[in-house]
Structure 1
Amino acid sequence: MSEVEMTGPEPAGQTGQLSVETTSADGIRVLTLAGEIDHHTGDTLRQALHVWDTPRPRVVADLGQVTFMDSSGINIFITAHRALGEAGGWLRLAAAGESVMRTISLVGVDTVIDCRETLHQALLTG
């Protein structure tokens, strides 16, 4: 059911680091993110989200291990959401922790991008 492709040369756990593990589940690209999303790690996230050159790309970003996200991350997700939508696909955010979800809600991203409480819910089509 799942095909695993590991990416992300930067290890999480150190301050200012972001790791990305990329897997596929039923044709949906799953990005499991760990660490901090900010202006220092934005390029790592941007590269991982760049799949809108494939037909009808569907992406779920699992934020369960993200410890911090600033406006850089918000902007990257909004840009990816628009690009994926224009390509006939979609982006969903899943399992955000309390502090990350507070940031997402505060700026209203949850009204623009589909946010789900769990990765399982985000992988359900419909």
Structure 2
Amino acid sequence: MAVICKAKDRTLYAAIDGEVDHHRARQIMGELVRQIDVTMPRQLTVDLGGVNFMDSSGIAILLRANRRMGELEGSMEVVHVPEQAGKVLRAAGVDRLIKFE
């Protein structure tokens, strides 16, 4: 599984692993949004510590999750961002829209 989620007390923790590219983006995005819709969290933490490659598909995944959390009046943060993924996200300005640890 590309996304492993744990929910507790309206907090959702989602760990993404492996490659985040156009081949896996639909699966990752679908599972993440499904988990958000099921748990209705106030806080979403996305852990990218297990990601070994990310392309622009990762940007879309995080922006869609952030938009959904905004619709729920919740907040989102991204933790354990690997160097390569961080470069992609910073180049696109995602770090100005979403809190990064």
TM bucket (normalised to shorter chain) is 0.7 to 0.9
Contact 1:37 1:66 in 2 (8 A): yes
1:35 is matched with which residue: 8, 14, 18? 18
Amino acid at match of 1:92: E
Equivalent residue number for residue 11 of structure 1? none
Amino acid at match of 1:61: V
Contact 1:53 1:87 in 2 (8 A): no
Instruction: Provide the aligned C-alpha RMSD in A.
Output: 1.7
Amino acid at match of 2:58: G
Higher RCO (CA < 8 A, seq sep 6+): 2
Give the fraction of aligned pairs with identical amino acids, expressed as a percent. Answer: 31
SS of the residue aligned with 1:102? helix
1:85 is matched with which residue: 54, 70, 78? 70
The offset of 1:113, in angstroms, is: 0.7
The offset of 1:67, in angstroms, is: 0.8
SS of the residue aligned with 1:64? strand
Question: CA separation in 1, counterparts of 2:72 and 2:61?
Answer: 16
Aligned length: 99
Contact 2:21 2:55 in 1 (8 A): yes
Contact 2:7 2:39 in 1 (8 A): no
Q: Relative to structure 1, is the Cα distance of residues 31 and 97 closer, same or farther in structure 2, using a 3 angstrom cutoff?
A: same
Question: CA separation in 1, counterparts of 2:45 and 2:54?
Answer: 17
Instruction: Decide which structure has greater helix share.
Output: 2
Larger radius of gyration: 1
The offset of 1:55, in angstroms, is: 4.2
Amino acid at match of 2:99: D
TM-score, structure 1 as length reference? 0.70
Q: Relative to structure 1, is the Cα distance of residues 54 and 20 closer, same or farther in structure 2, using a 3 angstrom cutoff?
A: closer
2:98 is matched with which residue: 89, 103, 113? 113
